[in-house]
Structure 1
Amino acid sequence: MSYQSDEEQVELLKNLWKDYGQPVVLGVAIILAAVSGYNYWQKTQQQEISEASGLYQNLLDTLSLDQQTQLAAPLTEEQKATVSHVVSSLQNDYASSQYAAFATLFLAQQQVQDDQLSAARASLEWVLAQKPADEVQTMASVRLARVLLSESSGNGQQALDILTKLNAGKSYEATVESAKGDAYLALGDRKQAETAYQKAVDAAQDNGLNRPLLQLKLDDLAAMAPQEG
């Protein structure tokens, strides 16, 4: 049975009241209210996703002005203002959407490039506070750890704590272990750093990836090791 209009619902309630009395009518009314509420919630959710997607597309359109031909080109001040406005709108109005998380991750990347490490840290902490999907959480956590290490080598333990809490899949193992190696190195633990870098190299090879920087880090640690003799 489908209820096509409010008038039909009212007529149904009148007939039920007449035939069965108050208990049944109350039960039906509760069910109808629940169905109507769910339909309204679903419609609202779809509208919010559409609006958030539109804002995110504005962000992509802004970036494509220079980056289609020069991917490394810095943003202009006007572009930065647009990015900041779009990210702020997404955070304020659509905080739980994936678009807000992705836009904020991009903002944090730009802030790192501009050497605004405190701002980048705040952006990444915002993403994590929204409890995003596992892949986004991993990405944001690794970037936050790297920002902390860039701010100060004294943040090594804090960065390591963030990374060890991750339950990253195989596709992110190389990235996470590489960041762990950097954290151990900041703590002065070269043995643990070497172990982490080796895990990263092995994971990258298992995924068919070539990470020459990781091998370079391992070679540097080997060169720094005290020679026997």
Structure 2
Amino acid sequence: MTSRTEEEQLALIKEWWQRNGMPLLTGGALALVAVFGWQGWQKYQTNQAQGASMLYQQLLETALTPSGQPDAGKVSELAGKLKSDYAGTQYAQYGSLFVAKVAVEAGKLDDAAAELRAIVDKPADATLSELARQRLARVLAAQGKAEEALKLLEGDADKAYLASREEIRGDLLVQLGRTDEAHAAYEKAKAALSDDAAVGSLQMKLDDLAKGDA
């Protein structure tokens, strides 16, 4: 087989480059974009988390006043910024829990319910879902909506939250006059706790029901 001349080899290289050079460059560029894009995204996520964390800390610090009562205007401002800049994040939703607490303390139950319901409808994680669900049930109970509150507590709960959920169910059932079911809920809550932890307000509730049945 005849050896190719330098000119022929150069022509073949040029032809190959025309066919494959741009795809290789494009593929390499895309690979670089993917690598640096991912690194950029990670950096963005880290910055977002840090920003949200700082803002949430500022929100909590609004309660550090001589009276112990948060500055309502400051709470509204910081919570609004958390929601707008970090919507759907855990920090934004923990901020909403704090706002709901402030609203309850101010007697603004409708506002508290709205904050909590937004989390229940689209929680950032399972813990926030359960915390918001239980607190919303308490708020609804205070509004005289025990039946609606009970529906929030249907289904299974994580073991870590079972006792508190069942105790709330018991309270709601007492409010509705369904004492037998309330007793069962309190017993279930007690069973989910250690013996020492069960001796307290929960045991007092069981004792009160027993006195009522006597």
TM bracket (short chain) = 0.7 to 0.9
Alignment correspondent of 1:216: 204
Post-superposition offset of 1:92 = 1.3
Task: Note closer, same or farther for the CA distance 1:211–1:80 as it changes in structure 2 (3 Å cut).
Answer: farther
Corresponding residue SS for 1:96: coil
Structure 2 length-normalised TM: 0.82
Post-superposition offset of 1:33 = 2.5
Instruction: Say if 2:140 is the partner of 1:148.
Output: yes
Unaligned runs of 5+ in 1: 1-15, 67-72
Corresponding residue SS for 1:29: helix
What letter matches 1:51 in structure 2? G
Instruction: Say if 2:52 is the partner of 1:35.
Output: no
Unaligned runs of 5+ in 2: 1-15
Post-superposition offset of 1:173 = 1.7
What does 1:40-189 align with in structure 2 at a 5 Å threshold?
A: 40-66=40-66, 73-75=67-69, 79-152=71-144, 155-169=145-159, 171-189=160-178
Using the alignment, how far apart are the partners of 2:164 and 2:138 within structure 1?
Answer: 11
Q: Kindly provide the CA deviation profile for residues 132-151 of structure 1, in whole angstroms up to 9, marking residues without a partner as x.
A: 22222111110011111110
Q: Is the 8 A contact 1:138 1:166 kept in 2?
A: no
Percent of pairs identical after alignment?
A: 35
Q: How many residues align?
A: 199
RMSD: 2.3
Corresponding residue SS for 1:204: coil
Q: Is the 8 A contact 2:137 2:149 kept in 1?
A: yes
Task: Note closer, same or farther for the CA distance 1:200–1:107 as it changes in structure 2 (3 Å cut).
Answer: same
Post-superposition offset of 1:93 = 1.0
Structure 1 length-normalised TM: 0.77
What letter matches 1:41 in structure 2? W
Aligned match for 1:197, one of 179, 183, 186: 186
